[in-house]
Amino acid sequence: VVKTGDGNAGRPRNERRTVTATDVAQAVGVSRSAVSRAFTPGALIADSTRQSVHAAAARLGYVPNALARMLISQRSRIVGVVMGTLINPFRSAVLDRLTAELHVAGYVPILFPVTPDSSVEDILPSIRQYQPEAVIMTGFTPVADALARMADSGVRVVVLNRGCEATVAADFISCDHMGGAALVAGRMLAAGYARLAVVGTGRGQVTTRSREDGFNAALRGAGLQPVQTVEAPLGYESGHAAAVRIMRDRRLPDAVFCLNDMTALGFIDAARTAYGLEPQRDYGIAGFDDIPMSAWPPYRLSSVTQPIAALAREVVTAIGRDGAGQSATCLLLPGSYVPRNSLRGEDAARRGAG
Amino acid sequence: VVKTGDGNAGRPRNERRTVTATDVAQAVGVSRSAVSRAFTPGALIADSTRQSVHAAAARLGYVPNALARMLISQRSRIVGVVMGTLINPFRSAVLDRLTAELHVAGYVPILFPVTPDSSVEDILPSIRQYQPEAVIMTGFTPVADALARMADSGVRVVVLNRGCEATVAADFISCDHMGGAALVAGRMLAAGYARLAVVGTGRGQVTTRSREDGFNAALRGAGLQPVQTVEAPLGYESGHAAAVRIMRDRRLPDAVFCLNDMTALGFIDAARTAYGLEPQRDYGIAGFDDIPMSAWPPYRLSSVTQPIAALAREVVTAIGRDGAGQSATCLLLPGSYVPRNSLRGEDAARRGAG
DNA sequence: TTGTAAGCGTTATCAA
DNA sequence: TTGATAACGCTTACAA
């Protein structure tokens, strides 16, 4: 029996009627199921049928309605990407890889921005409405409680670069921030620096804390501890301000570990502009993230590269893996230290262009 | 009659059954319609009913299924965002504003990355499957033909910062690149530069071409033309290479207009590193986009700010406006010249931090 | 290999 | 103000 509706209910009158599978079926003279099968990879259908259906579809401008498909098949292929602001180039790089990776895996990312004033609590329920197969959280600090509720509702939750909460049934995938920071500490110590400072400390993000912890732990291993610690949110402006604050102090450090590159860049600029201090020559400095700008000549900042591509790949793998979301999973991918010219003794060849 | 299905068809057995409106209705002792109304703002429903429905929904963990809602109501609130890579900080800034703005307007952005190897042609049909109310194209050069087909299928198309194709029924919203570039030319001329070069020319993007055209036109108005033109894709590396190429030439320019900031930054670094040339002191330079890095002390690059927030706002306004998508619409928002310290005579006060 | 028919979870319509 | 009922456009047993 052919549906009676005109397929145009509630639609602005100037829009053309939606072309449905039924239309194509009629045009070709087959059943609606045949049309469906023609668009289902690997379905049992005669080649000739598929071809004529495709031809008619192209002619009529038919495209399967993904919404209806999701509804009936109970598979949305939708992945909610909940993320903080993109001001930090590292964040954009992650989003870039992530969307690319999701796409090749056949997922559709839908974006939910987390701004300072829109709490995650508020957006999670609205995300659930879209029946995502998974939700990726990154670039902001998720509230454990919200995570748990999300996971409880049967949605797979993957947390990228936000530590590991063993109590929540989610996949936590992260760069090994502690290890990376330990690498930095090791290099600083090896280079003979002894009066070390840390910039960017604070209650902030888990990642940040891990870096600080890793750095301090490595120092402790050598019987040391930071001579100075500047509490501040991460970012260029913060680094700038931190430099000023540090220089005012009497107990000057001989090397500083900025908890991310943007902060380090701000630090370098302030130290140079206001005090004529050059990295490497006058003090050691290192960052974390290895953003493109760190390689630029005015900075040549040594840093820790996060394996962005691998992280992104692991995230979509985690989404695809079944049986997941049942218990907490943690995956730590190592970062690698990139020596440039911001620590004593380093002498990275200048590449032609940044 | 209550539906007979268990609401769990085809679902992995370990996932809990989906909670539907019917469940809530039963729990409260009202009809499914009542539940629907309880979640429809402005619907005709008794306050007491709404409250008990909400209470039951919260208890059972019910969230309306947006997919089903879209299907029946013929309004998806989905906006396809088709965009190129985010390597350029300007792009991320745009995406940031755009998603935020879409969100407050009640739209849901779904992201379609355009990579060099995935042509737009291929992704547009797959976008249509999701029944978007509109598609925003930005950060890549859309094929006019693909645009037209999209618009033809009844989807509103908004093109951000990609010129204006009067033949396509789409909304073109863009910064006034010609005007902005003319501003740059004017400043350079006023500063007494006469031997001007342009870097970043090429068949590339419409935006880029507009900038070049605007610059050249302004020069022509003064009876001049560029003494040199470097054809190159935009980007840091390109700017770097361009500097080297320009310096090799005998007819050296006294000022160069890089078609975007990233390119200018690369140029500055190369000129300084390889030739000891300082912007402003030894040559004039300006860019376009005003990315955050341009304000950093090593660069202090004069540039043209694009009104990102306004552009984003106009885009979602265009989406919401009805009757649109019927004919081509063009909107040009002016950019503004930001003098810093890269042209002779400029003396921007150094802000404390970047 | 194809067609029939039963849903998926919601909202729109109409009558009560 | 509420409830029954018919779509929305599709996939998928099951039967042919």
Tokens matching residue B283 = 């040559």
For the entire predicted model, the pTM comes to 0.92
Please give the pLDDT value at position B353: 41
Cβ of B62 near strand C (under 7 Å)? The reply is yes
A273/B297 Cβ within 8 A: yes
Contact indicator for A264, A232 with CB cutoff of 8 Å: no
Give DSSP secondary structure letters for B35-89.
HHHHTSTT----HHHHHHHHHHHHHHT----HHHHHHHHT---EEEEEE----SH
What is the rounded CA–CA span in Å between residue A135 and residue A83? 10
Residues of chain B with pLDDT under 70: 1-16, 323-325, 350-354
Q: Decide: residue A281, CB within 10 A, 0-12 exposed, 13-18 middle, 19+ buried.
A: exposed
B65/A67 Cβ within 8 A: no
B92/A71 Cβ within 8 A: no
Most A CBs within 10 Å, among B54, B67, B81, B131, to test the A interface: B67
Cβ of B1 near strand D (under 7 Å)? The reply is yes
**A128 Cα to chain B: minimum distance (Å):** 7
- Closest nucleotide to A62: CA versus each C1': D9
Please give the pLDDT value at position B119: 75
**A235 Cα to chain B: minimum distance (Å):** 11
B111/A96 Cβ within 8 A: no
Cβ of B18 near strand C (under 7 Å)? The reply is yes
- By Cβ distance, the residue of A9, A61, A112 closest to B153 is A61
A323/B269 Cβ within 8 A: no
Looking at residue B337, the DSSP 8-state letter turns out to be E
| A54 Rama class: left (phi>0) / alpha (psi -120 to 50) / beta | alpha
- By Cβ distance, the residue of B99, B152, B293 closest to A111 is B99
Most B CBs within 10 Å, among A76, A77, A86, A321, to test the B interface: A86
Dihedrals phi, psi of B112, to nearest 5 degrees: -125, 105
What is the rounded CA–CA span in Å between residue B240 and residue B269? 7
What is the rounded CA–CA span in Å between residue B239 and residue B262? 7
| Cα four-point dihedral sign B27, B106, A102, B171 | positive
Residues of A in contact with B11 (CB under 8 A): 74
For A135-160, the pLDDT digits (tens) are 999 988 888 888 888 888 888 999 99
- By Cβ distance, the residue of A73, A273, A298 closest to B10 is A73
Please give the pLDDT value at position B6: 42
Residues of chain A with pLDDT under 70: 1-16, 323-325, 350-354
Question: Between A and B, how many CB-CB pairs are < 8 A?
Answer: 168
A86/B86 Cβ within 8 A: yes
The C1' atom of D11 and the CA atom of A125 lie apart, in whole Å, by 28
Q: Which nucleotides of C are covered by protein (CB under 7 A)?
A: 1-13
A240/B354 Cβ within 8 A: yes
**A219 Cα to chain B: minimum distance (Å):** 31
Cβ of A68 near strand C (under 7 Å)? The reply is yes
- By Cβ distance, the residue of A16, A100, A153 closest to B154 is A16
Please give the pLDDT value at position B351: 53
Contact indicator for A279, A68 with CB cutoff of 8 Å: no
Distances from the Cα of B354 to the Cαs of A287, B193, B298, in angstroms?
Answer: 18, 27, 10
Q: Which nucleotides of D are covered by protein (CB under 7 A)?
A: 1-13
Contact indicator for A285, A230 with CB cutoff of 8 Å: no
For A94-119, the pLDDT digits (tens) are 999 999 999 999 999 999 999 877 77
Dihedrals phi, psi of B232, to nearest 5 degrees: -170, 155
Cβ of B223 near strand C (under 7 Å)? The reply is no
**A66 Cα to chain B: minimum distance (Å):** 5
The C1' atom of D10 and the CA atom of B107 lie apart, in whole Å, by 24
Residues of B in contact with A237 (CB under 8 A): 353-354
B66/A129 Cβ within 8 A: yes
Strand D interface, B 46-75, C-beta < 7 A: 46-49, 68, 71-72, 74
Site of tokens 């990102």? B308
What is the rounded CA–CA span in Å between residue A270 and residue A249? 15
Residues of B in contact with A78 (CB under 8 A): 110
Please give the pLDDT value at position B154: 81
**B128 Cα to chain A: minimum distance (Å):** 7
Instruction: Report which of A22, A3, A70, A127 is spatially closest to residue B71, judged by C-alpha positions.
Output: A70
The residue of chain B with its CA nearest to that of A293 is B293
B61/A297 Cβ within 8 A: no
Instruction: Report which of B109, B86, B84, B87 is spatially closest to residue B99, judged by C-alpha positions.
Output: B109
Please give the pLDDT value at position A351: 53
A73/B71 Cβ within 8 A: no
The C1' atom of C15 and the CA atom of A73 lie apart, in whole Å, by 34
For B3-42, the pLDDT digits (tens) are 333 444 334 434 457 899 999 999 999 999 999 999 999 8
The C1' atom of C16 and the CA atom of A32 lie apart, in whole Å, by 37
**B198 Cα to chain A: minimum distance (Å):** 19
B353/A237 Cβ within 8 A: yes
